[in-house]
Structure 1
Amino acid sequence: MSVEKDIIKIQHKLQNMSDENADQSQALDLLKALKDLPITLDILTKTRVGMTVNSFRKSCNNEEVITFSKALIKNWKKLLNGDKSTTQETKKEKKERKKSEEKEQKIETKKDTSKPVIFPTPSTTDAVRLKCRELLVSALKTDDENEGCASIEELADELEDAIFLEFKNTDARYKNRVRSRYSNLKDAKNPQLRSNFIAGAITPAQLAKMTAEEMASDEMKTLRNKLIKESIDDAQLATVQGTKTDLLKCGKCKKRNCTYNQIQTRSADEPMTTFVMCNECGNRWKFC
């Protein structure tokens, strides 16, 4: 557990260094500390540290840090593929492996051809779940290249798996949850939700449980807050006791049974605004 805590601390520091003007002088020391930690396949999968290192590498301008990051990710890839530990290799195998790695590093320094770390995801043979995963993949795919360390397919699988774990079956509630995630991720008016999910700002577990209000775009949230405020203002106005009069005529039902209130809505030197409500049909209007 202490290894995971150390990894998480280093991850936070690397993420803070990803900003354009951040001080990255300690980046190499942090990466070396990661290399010295006894990272297992289980820890690598849980912490997703590979995504953090790969993302930091893309924002870094130090060639030594970039080269070390690539080498670190390659070592983790070997762990994922089940390669033998270097302590079990013969001297001849060590020598050949070292030459091969140095050759590959020289080639990648000239041309960046490294691929992101692929982490294992839960698998399923259920036809309904597989269809839902395909639906989520189609919502995440665009013409732009994926900049995340995880693949689109992996993110879709993890999101579907998080939804399934909540309902434990593929009933109507499960399907409705998948459809709502699909609609919001596909929404061209809300690209920020998809970007945040792919970048890792929103995890699959979080997106699986987010409400429609939480997934809405900033523009929709602003509009919703405005409508709520207007509704509250209307309700408050309706509860204020006004003055009844038969001098005002309702333009809707044409009857003279009204109640009016006068409120100072502008500066003090301006006349008050009169709000009128028809007691017969409920029609409301205002005039200055």
Structure 2
Amino acid sequence: MDTKEVKSTVSNLEKAVDDSTILKLLNILHDDVQPTEKLLRETKVGVIVNKYRGHNNPQVSSLVKKMIRGWRDAVQAEKNSRKKASASPSASTSTATSVASTPPPQNKASLSSSSATAPAPALATRSYVGPRDAKKDGVNTQIYDNETRNASVAALYGSLAVERQDPSIHILAIAREIENAVYMAEYSKVNESYRNKLRTFIMQIRNKKNPELRERLLSKQITSERFIKMSPNEMAPEFLKKEIEKMHKQNLFDAQGATEKRAVTDRFTCGKCKHKKVSYYQMQTRSADEPLTTFCTCENCGNRWKFS
């Protein structure tokens, strides 16, 4: 069956209601479809057929499971054959290259003299492609008997390694220090508090906009014990700290600007103590065409009143 025929059969299958029609169409697909990755992607036949896996009719569900299993195996075999085909030329090329680059044999005297005078080879610098993590770096994080602690160390390693080129052994050491500090702070227990704290710390460290935090941790400007006691504001990147400070100053200014300006006068008389030293301020408390409301406070007894 070509792509067009498969799509047509799938369309009829979606419209089918009775079990006999569904079984008939499924058998057609089972017998006539030659599954390839391209065909399955274009027609989405696997997606449609898979919907009948939990069908009430056991014949339908059994046939669907058999079809899906067979198609999956066929596609996997296709992928494996492609991999083998692509690997063969590269293997032969590398073999030819190694043979061509093999130096001619030398006598023992020349080898000993050259080894004595030749400088020691420099250590190769590893160039990391893509995001780093413990598995890609070949780092063993199976340190403890507790899997949660091991997973925490691995997650901390991946967070500390974001956009970093530090040696793996150094990153692992810092990750272990942080995890152990949290573990000890929780009285050597892996509990919900332990998990929540580590989730928070991992998110803060992993933040790509906060390279300063990773730098401070890996350079040990911040100790692990100090780090686990820091507030989110203290961990925030410098640009965010400046924004928070700016907002705080603006809010403080706005709050001060909203304070009522009071004036002291002797035009009003306190109805309670009859003193004339009265402070007042005015506000528009009603509609714009109404007069201002005057709020008075007696500076002598503290009595308050208002009038319009």
TM-score class normalised by the smaller sequence = 0.3 to 0.5
Task: Considering Cα pairs closer than 8 Å and 6+ residues apart, tell me whether 1 or 2 has the greater RCO.
Answer: 1
Question: What TM-score, normalized to structure 2?
Answer: 0.40
Structure with higher Rg: it is 2
Question: What TM-score, normalized to structure 1?
Answer: 0.43
